[in-house]
Chain A
Amino acid sequence: MQDALFYIFSALTLLCGILVVFNPFSRNPVTSAMFLVLTIISMSGLFVLLNAFFLAAVQILVYAGSVIVLFLFVIMLLDVKEEEKRQFQKFGTFMGLISVIGLAAIIISTTNQTFTIANQSEAATIKQTFNQSGSAETKPLGKLLFTEYVLPFEIISLLLLVAMLGCILLSKREEPKEGVK
């Protein structure tokens, strides 16, 4: 059951991820943003399969709820009609495809080799199956977040404040100053 769910969710994630980047039917950034929402929702399904319930909820709230809305606002602010006509550059696409596929082949083969070695050695402590206990891991996560990781937690709130100030400063219109040459 869980294996089937894994295959469904990962296929959805990868398919929607491909459609974010290369949509054969439309060049519109709004379509890409919508497929990004689908990618994120199916990825939160994968998080649920991994017993990370809190992170699945945060993923949907933060990404699908606010980041995509921000993207859509910016797309509406800018004029996107012009980009639809633009075609891919052949040479750049070809070289990018080759280099990225090469990178993927290198990483996947390394992972495969690592797992072959790890399966042979007895020191492999990695669990081979899903955790069947089904216990919610949110409570220990919160405990860890507010005891051991409380300093990074506070620093990240400072980071959000700085980001907010930066956004306000950047998106403020420059007014022509009077009396200054």
Chain B
Amino acid sequence: MSVGLEQFLIVSIILFCIGLLGVVVRRNLIVMYMGLELMLNAANLALVSFSHYRDNLDGQILVFFIITVAAAEVAVGLALIVALYRKRQATDVNELTSMKM
């Protein structure tokens, strides 16, 4: 079976589902963040493969922006996790259920 757009899309779907499963199942905030990164990467893979198979570079530009936004998001999110840990001494979401700091 020759490799086409469909195979790339299936890899991207499976990777997205692995990341989603990580966010849903794991209870550690940091590992949940890694699941988010996996989902963003899966979207990037789908965009790059579309852009290659349509001979259109707009998808790659979008991926460039997504990578930048993901870096900013990780920085802010990890700063939030550190601030939360200072208040509560926990990174497990089962212990972070009340809204009052």
Contacts and interface: CB of A to CB of B under 8 A. Distances in A.
Interface residues of A, number: 84
Contacts of A67: 37, 70-71, 74
Given A55-B48, A75-B30, A62 B2 contact: no
Given A70-B75, A75-B30, A96 B18 contact: no
Contacts of A3: 2-3
Contacts of A115: 5-6
Interface residues of B, number: 69
Contacts of B100: none
Contacts, number: 211
Chain B at the A interface: SS class: helix
A20 B5 CA distance: 26
Contacts of B73: 163
A132 interface: no
Interface of A: 2-3, 6-7, 10, 13-14, 17-18, 20-22, 29, 32-33, 36, 39-40, 43, 46-47, 50-52, 54-55, 58-59, 62-63, 66-67, 70-71, 74-75, 77-80, 82-83, 86, 88-89, 92-93, 96-97, 99-101, 103-104, 107-108, 111-112, 115, 125-131, 137, 140-141, 144-145, 149, 152, 156, 159-160, 162-164, 166-167, 170-171, 173
